[in-house]
Structure 1
Amino acid sequence: MLSDAKLRAAKPRANAYKLTDSNRLYLLVTPSGGKLWRWSYQYGGKQKTMALGAYPVVSLLEARERRDDARAILSQGKDPVIAKKLLIHENLAAAQNTFERIARKWHDVTKAQWARVHADDVLRSLERDVFPALGPLPVSEISAPLVLDVLRTIEDRGALETAKRVRQRISAAFVYAIAQGFAQHDPSERLGVVLKPLRKGRQPAITDLAELQRMLNAAEEDHARPITRLALRFIALTAVRPNEIRGARWIEFEDLDGRNPLWRIPASRMKGGQDRKEEIGGDHLVPLAHQSVAVLSAIWPLTGTGPLVFPSSRHAHHPMSENAIGYLLNRAGYHGRHVPHGFRAAFSTIMNEWAEQHGKEHDRKIIDLMLAHVPKEKVESAYNRAAYLPRRRELAQIWADMLTVHLPPPTVLLERPARDMGAYSRRRIPDPVPGDFRFPLLTR
C-alpha cells in the first residue's frame, strides 16, 4: 500500500518504474520526474490501462476514488476509458448547445408557419427577456428556478400576459431540445401554475397573434351566415364592443371611397351613463384600415339597401343576434377561450407590446383612445376624442396588416358553406380594389 511519504520520496531513475497500490492502482515514475497515476484492468480479454491524473495534483485519496469509480463502470460491462471519452464529448456538446443556440434553431424551424411580423416578435421577446439570463447556459443544465427568475422579472414590470407567452416560447424551445437529444426535460413545463394570475373578471381572450389568426381562420371556415362571418372579421379589425358592431348603421360611415375612411359611432350608442350618451362631440371615431373597408364592400350588396350593416337574418331593421358571433367562435372550438369582447384585450395587449418593442411608448395612450378608454385623470366632457387621428389611422392599419396576413379576402367568406341566410341571398362579389369601390347609397 502506498502512503504520501512514499510518494513524496519517490525519485526519478534511468528507466520508468511503478509504485503499486491496491486493486491494480499504481504510480508511474518517469525518468523526467513525472509521477502519473495509472490503473490497469481487463476488458474484452485484453489488458488495458487508464490514466487517472498526476501526483500531487491528484492526491492518493483522489486516485483511489477515481479507481473505484472506474471499477464501478467496469462492473456494468462498460469500458471505463470509452465511458470517460463519451463523458468528455457529452460535456463539450452540452457547453456548445446553449439555450440561445437551441432556441434560435427552434425559431428557424418553426417560423415558416407564422406571419413574418409574429416570427419577428417571438425572436425579439427571446432576445429581450430570455437570452441575457439563459442564453449562455447549456440547455441541459437549466433548472426551473432559473426560468422562473426570468419570468418574475417580466411580471415585475407588469407584463403578465407577456410572462405567460414567454414561458410558452421557452417551453417550445425545450421540447425541440428534448426531441434533438440535447435535454432530458422541460424545466418550464409546470411553471404556468405559479405565475401571477391575470386580473379577475376579464373576458376570455386569446392575446397571442398567431393563435388569434388560427382562431379567425377556423371560425371563418365554419358554417355560418356570411353576415356573421363578416361581422367577426370586422370586430376583430376594429376592436370595438360587440353592441357597437351589432348596431352599426351605414349612415355612420364616412369617406369609404376616399383616402380617410371613418366610422363615427354616435355618443348615444357608446358604453357609459346618460352624460356620456348626451356628450356633445362625444362620438367615438374609428379610422378604418383598407381591410375594414374591404369587409364593408363585401357586405354592401347584402345589406346596403337597409339601415343596418349587420342585421338579423329575419328582420332587416333588427340587429343581428347578440350571440351570433359568440356561437360561431364556440362552434369553432373556442368556447371559454375567446369571446367577441376579447378582441379588445387582444388588440390592447398585442399593440401595446408592439409599441414597446418599437420604442413607441407614446402610442400607449393612443391605443387606449382607440378603445374609447378615458385616462383616469381626465373627465369625459374634457377629453378630446378626435385627438391623434392620423396616428390612430396608422396604428389601425398596422393592426390590420398583422391580423389578416394569412386570411382570405372578405369576399371569399360569401362563398363558404352557410347556415340559413333568411332574407339575404348569397351573391358572388368581385374582390374590391382600394379606392375604386363605390357605395352608391352613401352620400355625404
Structure 2
Amino acid sequence: MTSRTSWGQKWGQMRQRMLRGGILPPINKLTEVKIKNFKPSGKIERYADGGGLYLEVSVAGGKHWRMKYRVDGKEKRLSFGAWPAVSLLEARDKRDDAKRMLRESRDPGTEKKKVKSEQEAPIFQDIGLEYVEKQREVWAASHTRTVEGRLKLDVYPAFGKKPIAAVTPQDVLAMLRKIEERRAFETASRVLGFCSLIFKYAVTLGLVDTDPCRDLRPALKPYAKGQLAAITKPKEVGALMLSIDDYKGSLVVRSALLFSALTFCRPGEIRHAEWVEIDFDENMWTIPAEKMKGRVEHKVPLSRQALDVLDGIRPYTGSGKYVFPTPRSANRPLSENGVLTALRNMGYTKEQMTAHGFRSMASTLLNELGHRFDVIEAQLAHKGADRIRAVYNRAEYMKERHDLMQAWADYLDELKIRHLER
C-alpha cells in the first residue's frame, strides 16, 4: 500500500514537471462536444473545467461560463459570457488572465468593473462636440469655426477618446505644452479656456466633480498680448485717408477701405455686406444677427460720405449679392486679405495698420473728441453694449448714433484737408 502511494506521488510530481515543460497536454474536464450535449435537468447544473472555471447550465438550458476564486479569504465569482458565443478555449484564456491578475495581487472582478465603467463613460470628445453644438446659436460663426478647429487639431488627438472623468490636469498641461513648443503661446491660453468651458459644462451634467483646468493658467508660459495695429494720431489718420483716395487698385477694394474707415465695422461684416441689407430711404445698414460676433442684429447709420461710397460702386456690383465681391465672382465676398493687402501695398506695415485697426482708430479718436462713451460702444457693437442697446432703444438714441456717424465722417474729411494744407 505504501509502495503504491509512493509511486502515485512520484508519478504526480513527474507529471507536473512534464506539464510545466510542455511535454504533456493538460487534462481538461470539458470539451466542446460534451458542452453541446449538456441538457437541462430541471435544476441548475455546474460542470467544472479546472482552475476555478466551470460551465453553469440553467433550468432553461442556457450555458454560461463562471469562475470561482478567492481574495482575502472571501469567495467570489466572475462571469465570462455564454457558450457558444464564448468558446471553451476563450473561456480558458479568460480564466488564465484572471489567475494572472490574482498572482499580481489584483482582484479580477474589480478590474473588470473598472474596464466596463471606462467603456461606458462618455469620452471628452463627445462632450466637447455636444457643448459646441449647444453654443452654435450663440457664438458667431467665425468663433465657432475657431473653437472647432482648435479642438480638432490640438485637444481631441491628445485625450479626446479618454473618458472625460479620467482626464487629469497633467493630461491637459501636456497637450498645452505641445502647443507652446510651436511658440503659439496665445493659442495655448485660448485652448485652455475652451477646454475649461467644456469641463464646466460636464460639471453641470454631473459627469465630473471639478474643472481640471482651473489651476493650470499659472503654468503656461507668459506672453505679451498684442493689440491689432491701428493708426490713432490725427495727423497720421489724415495721411491714411488721402492714401486711400489715391489707391490705384480695384474700385471694390478702394471702396471697401473707405467703407471700413467710415463705418468702423469688423472686417468680416464689411466683406459680407449685402445690397439687400442697405436701406437707402432710411440711410441704414442692418447687419443680421448671424453675421455679428455677439449674435445680435446691428444697425449702422450711414453718413453722406458712406452713401457716396455705395452710390459709386452700385453700378458695378449692384446686380450681384455682395456690395464688395471678389473679382472672380459677383456672388462671393471679397477675400479676407483684400483690404489687408491693399494697406500693405499702400506702404503700411503690420505694425502700423490692420483691417481691424479702423475700429480702434474710430474708438480712440471719437472718445478724444468727447462723444459719449456709451454711444460709441453701442455703435462698435461691443459685448458690453447689450445693456446699453436695451436702455437706449429709442428714436432719439438712434438719432444720436446718426449724428455720431456723420460727425465721424466729417472729421475724417477735415483731417484730410489739414494734411493737404501742411
Which is richer in helix?
A: 2
Output the TM-score relative to the length of structure 2: 0.43
Q: Which has the higher contact order (CA 8 A, sep 6+)?
A: 1
